[in-house]
Amino acid sequence: MPLVTSSFATLAADLKAAPAGPVFVLFSSTEQDGKKWCPGCIEIEPDVQRVFENGEHYALAVYLDWTDFDEGQWPQEAWALIGVPTVYRIDTPGAKPTSWLMQGQSAFGPALDAFVASPEAYEAFLEPKVPDYVDAATRWQWAHEDWQLSEDQAQARKKLKEVRDAVAAEQKKAREAARGAALEGEKAEEVKPVEGEKAEEIKPPAVCTGTTCVA
């Protein structure tokens, strides 16, 4: 059956309405000028089409673009989503994903075939191919830890930017105040009379009698 287009806004309702059996959720990229912006999403497209478009597996597809980033992070903690493309498997309606597959973990085509077959088949496929293999529960925990770490870093960057913006604004305000004060001083100097000038202007003329002049 074909991929069913979903979104973050409708995903919960779409999962609830999904038929019984495992449901797969693909997070991929939108298209820009007729081409996906994510190279990995382009690379896995043939396998996604092969498995989901013409297969027996029910899958929802959520297409994301750059505006779905929030300070460099995908805005969905529940999925611990840190990049695309990623495929999740949900075996029980309303439950957390049983496992997930990211492009780049191994050869995607064979990995996807094992992934949709069963969680056990995927673990059996993965274990001999991953030197630092750990079970799905541990990977899920680590994924959430990685997501939280990235989110904390994003929030720290946001707070640091706010502090720096405030410092820059305060310094700009001080510079403008200093320039304003300097301009006012220049204007005052322009209109200030020269010392003694006024007194000389109103000084009465000298009165001279004979050879003596009296001011």
Q: Quickly list DSSP for 12-68.
A: HHHHHTSPSS-EEEEEEE-EETTEES-HHHHHHHHHHIIIIISSS-EEEEEEE-GGG
pLDDT per residue as tens digits for the range 165-192 = 999 999 999 999 999 888 888 777 776 6
Q: What is the pLDDT of residue 69?
A: 63
Q: What is the pLDDT of residue 130?
A: 86
- How far apart CA 27 and CA 137 sit, in angstroms, is 20
For residue 101, with 0-12 CB atoms within 10 Å meaning exposed, 13-18 middle and 19 or more buried, which class applies? buried
Instruction: Calculate ∠ Cα 53-126-54, nearest 5°.
Output: 10
User: How does the average pLDDT of the chain come out, rounded?
Assistant: 81
Low-confidence ranges of the chain (pLDDT < 70): 1, 55, 69-77, 103, 105-106, 191-215
pLDDT per residue as tens digits for the range 59-71 = 999 998 877 765 4
> Pairing state of beta strands 86-90 and 31-32?
unpaired
Q: What is the pLDDT of residue 66?
A: 74
Residues in the chain: 215
- For domain 4-153, give its CATH number from 3.40.640.10, 2.40.30.10, 3.30.450.20, 3.40.30.10: 3.40.30.10
